[in-house]
Structure 1
Amino acid sequence: MEDQADTVQLSSYNEDLQHKTILVGDSSVGKTSLLVQFDQGKFIPGSFTSTVGIGFTNKVVTVDGLKVKLQIWDTAGQERFRSVTHAYYRDAQALLLLYDITSKTSFDNIRAWLTEVHEFAHKDVVIMLLGNKCDITSGRVVRTEDGESLAKDYGIPFMETSAKTGVNVELAFMAIAKELKQRSSSPDDRKFQIYEYIESQKKKSSCCGFL
């Protein structure tokens, strides 16, 4: 696979182009499925066993001709693992915060997750809100507009994703990668705007929402 070839070259990477991204949110919102869809391009039917503690995957993506290595950490959503998750916030460059559009509770808990993020993560961390499982239209209980409104309250980008169909999964990670690459290469010249990038990709999506 291409990933294997990329892995051989990692020793020559500029450290600034290696970034730590963390997936956070309640248990069962689809964090592991989202990561597998992005990393392997597939959805594994059936429920994953709840992540115990934390695990990670390395994924190399090409951004504007440069290879960017994303070290993506999949965290446990259960309360008993929360202290473990906190320790990983501190050196994260990006956080993808997920809720399940079929679970009002997971959406209601987003504000609490954001409070933790703002307490433990670096002040310049890139945060994106994702409403996952947008393929389950009949079971939706959280409107797209609700996700948009919450994201606007916190000034963070938002989109809906489907780990099952792959809708917006790659876009979410690529938007993060582009933002991090821009910060590393030209921290004082912010030509790339994550909101504008997401907006420009709307037409390539067949469903789900954006901010």
Structure 2
Amino acid sequence: MGFILLFDLSNEQSFLNIRNWLTQLSTHAYCENPDIILCGNKVDLEDSRMITEERAREVAEKHGLPYFETSAATGHNVAKAIECLLDMVMLRAERSVDKSIFNRSKNRQGYEVDEASSEGGCGC
């Protein structure tokens, strides 16, 4: 229900692909604005780094994404990034449940119906 968009901090082309990957996610995702976090991976390879944190944060801010610098090798910030994405997904789920509660009422037969629906039939 959410996406971790990961690029390699030591690979310029990987960083440049972010825009294309975001387009693919918005085209094929389950909803119009999916929950996405951006992670620059391989932060442990400081000598090979090609993408500065400032540059990566600018791209993340431009697209409205949380940004984390991670390392799969050391585990640096991996749990923090996943927790952030889970919080985003859970918040979306809670808002969705709240909306469905407010948009439901009972018809004359006592069945729940979705008031937003043009059909106006049974809620099953």
- TM-score in same-fold range (> 0.5): yes
Note the C-alpha offset of 1:186.
4.2
Task: Confirm or deny that 1:161 pairs with 2:70.
Answer: yes
Structure 1 counterpart SS, 2:62 = helix
Task: Confirm or deny that 1:107 pairs with 2:15.
Answer: yes
Picking from 180, 183, 207, the partner of 2:92 is 183
Structure 1 counterpart SS, 2:72 = coil
User: Identity of counterpart residues, as a percentage?
Assistant: 35
C-alpha distance after superposition, 1:10-38 (max 9, x if no partner): xxxxxxxxxxxxxxxxxxxxxxxxxxxxx
Distance 2:24 2:92 in 1: 24
C-alpha distance after superposition, 1:54-76 (max 9, x if no partner): xxxxxxxxxxxxxxxxxxxxxxx
The answer for the alignment partner of 2:38 in structure 1 is 129
Distance 1:119 1:182 in 2: 22
Note the C-alpha offset of 1:160.
0.6
Gaps of 5+ in 1: 1-92, 190-211
The answer for the alignment partner of 1:116 in structure 2 is 24
Note the C-alpha offset of 1:185.
2.8
Instruction: Using structure 1 for the length normalisation, give the TM-score.
Output: 0.44
Distance 2:95 2:64 in 1: 22
Q: CA RMSD in A?
A: 1.6
Distance 2:10 2:49 in 1: 5
Structure 1 counterpart SS, 2:32 = coil
Structure 2 counterpart SS, 1:178 = helix
Tell whether the 8 Å contact from 2:26 to 2:34 is kept in structure 1 after alignment: no
Note the C-alpha offset of 1:182.
2.3
Instruction: Using structure 2 for the length normalisation, give the TM-score.
Output: 0.72
Distance 1:110 1:159 in 2: 14
Note the C-alpha offset of 1:180.
1.6
Q: How does 1:72-83 map to 2 (within 5 A)?
A: none
Note the C-alpha offset of 1:116.
1.0
Distance 1:116 1:185 in 2: 26
Structure 2 counterpart SS, 1:150 = helix
Note the C-alpha offset of 1:119.
1.4
- Please tell me the residue identity of whatever aligns with 1:179: M
The answer for the alignment partner of 2:81 in structure 1 is 172
